[in-house]
């Protein structure tokens, strides 16, 4: 198993002159995969990573044996995404919208010894605006051409569960609903492994 820090995350580059768009993220993922000399592989993405994994599979379908999408944000449009994110909690709203949010993120990095929140403002806010808030999973769902398992947790955000019936039909995708919350890869790793056809 190989894990890749997404652009702007962890130890990955965090350029300040990028929009952190789909194109930026997919180009970075592709360069990382090329550096590993992988020709075909199973691709797993969680949350925003699932949005990027689905888009990567659309751009490079010949490289994917199997796609596993875990808890991708399923918002119907940008307005629903913003409303859902901003209503999560006062703390979350502060970290997203306050004029003092940069200080808040700096404090969080310090308290966690840089183990979490290792973003800069450009990577954090660019990815939020240009990936998560764009709410394009419905569109990408119908464009996927590789064998895919798509996990939605019934204890995840209510918007995701509500929007499941509106996903377009795609015979390549097996939709799985489980009684788990958003962070099932951390708390239910056996479930995740069971979803892979070749663990």
Q: At what angle do helices 90-97 and 78-86 cross, to 10 degrees?
A: 120
For residue 158, the SS3 value is: helix
Rounded to two decimals, the pTM is: 0.89
Q: Which pair of tokens denotes residue 163?
A: 């929007």
Q: Which pair of tokens denotes residue 179?
A: 């009684």
Q: How many CA atoms lie within 13 A of 114 on its CB side?
A: 4
Query: CATH number of the domain at 22-194, out of 3.30.460.10, 3.40.50.360, 3.40.50.1820, 3.40.50.720?
Result: 3.40.50.1820
Q: At what angle do helices 48-59 and 22-35 cross, to 10 degrees?
A: 70
Query: From first to last of its 199 residues, what are the pLDDT tens digits of the chain?
Result: 899 999 998 889 999 999 999 999 999 999 999 999 998 999 999 999 999 999 999 999 999 999 999 999 999 999 999 889 888 877 766 667 777 777 766 766 666 545 555 677 788 889 999 999 999 999 999 999 999 999 999 999 999 999 999 999 999 999 999 999 999 999 999 999 999 875 5
> Which backbone phi and psi does 104 adopt, to 5 degrees?
-65, -45
Q: Which pair of tokens denotes residue 45?
A: 């993405």
For residue 156, the SS3 value is: coil
pLDDT, residue 89, reads 72
| Domains in the chain: boundaries | 22-194
pLDDT, residue 33, reads 95
């Amino acid at each position: 198993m190989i894990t890749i820090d997404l652009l702007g995350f962890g130890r990955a580059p965090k350029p300040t002159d990028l929009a952190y768009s789909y194109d930026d993220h997919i180009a970075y993922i592709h360069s990382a995969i090329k550096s590993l000399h992988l020709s075909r592989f199973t691709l797993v993405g969680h949350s925003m990573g699932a949005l990027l994994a689905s888009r990567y599979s659309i751009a490079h379908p010949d490289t994917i044996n199997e796609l596993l999408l875990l808890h991708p944000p399923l918002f119907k449009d940008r307005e629903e995404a913003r409303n859902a994110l901003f209503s999560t909690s006062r703390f979350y709203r502060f970290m997203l919208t306050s004029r003092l949010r940069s200080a808040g993120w700096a404090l969080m990095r310090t308290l966690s010894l840089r183990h979490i929140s290792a973003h800069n403002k450009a990577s954090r806010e660019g990815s939020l605006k240009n990936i998560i808030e764009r709410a394009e999973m419905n569109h990408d769902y119908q464009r996927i051409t590789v064998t895919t398992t798509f996990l939605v947790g019934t204890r995840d955000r209510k918007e995701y569960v509500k929007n499941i019936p509106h996903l377009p039909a795609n015979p390549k995708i097996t939709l799985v609903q489980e009684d788990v919350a958003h962070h099932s890869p951390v708390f239910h790793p056996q479930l995740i492994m069971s979803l892979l056809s070749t663990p």
